[in-house]
Amino acid sequence: NAGVTQTPKFRVLKTGQSMTLLCAQDMNHEYMYWYRQDPGMGLRLIHYSVGEGTTAKGEVPDGYNVSRLKKQNFLLGLESAAPSQTSVYFCASSYSGNNYEQYFGPGTRLTVT
């Protein structure tokens, strides 16, 4: 099993450009999540999904959109990138239920200039 994979690993964008980050999991997990990690702030939840075709806002959703058209994939979009979105982005997945741990991907390092 590959677990949770993320594409791309690194990306540099200019302000105003758009991009999509792809997350894929092969563990048949119902729940999927997108986080951003910034120094000294831990991980903050951007959006999450509790099943195919469903999405919900997390703690810091502004400037991002998501889609979960297939159970195994969770896409994070930036329509108009801003320097404040420079961060490391992590995708995670888990079984349904609050008692299950999350499995994380390796991360995408995004720089917006």
Partner 1 sequence: AQSVAQPEDQVNVAEGNPLTVKCTYSVSGNPYLFWYVQYPNRGLQFLLKYITGDNLVKGSYGFEAEFNKSQTSFHLKKPSALVSDSALYFCAVRAYSGSARQLTFGSGTQLTVLP
Residue whose CB is less far from partner 1, 1 or 14:
1
Residue whose CB is less far from partner 1, 14 or 39:
39
Residue whose CB is less far from partner 1, 9 or 18:
9
Closest contact distance (angstroms) between CB of 80 and partner 1 is: 26
CB neighbours (10 Å) of residue 77?
Answer: 14
8 Å CB contact between 53 and 75: no
| Positions in the binding site for partner 1 (CB under 8 A) | 4, 31, 33, 40-45, 48, 50, 58-59, 90, 92, 98-99, 101-107
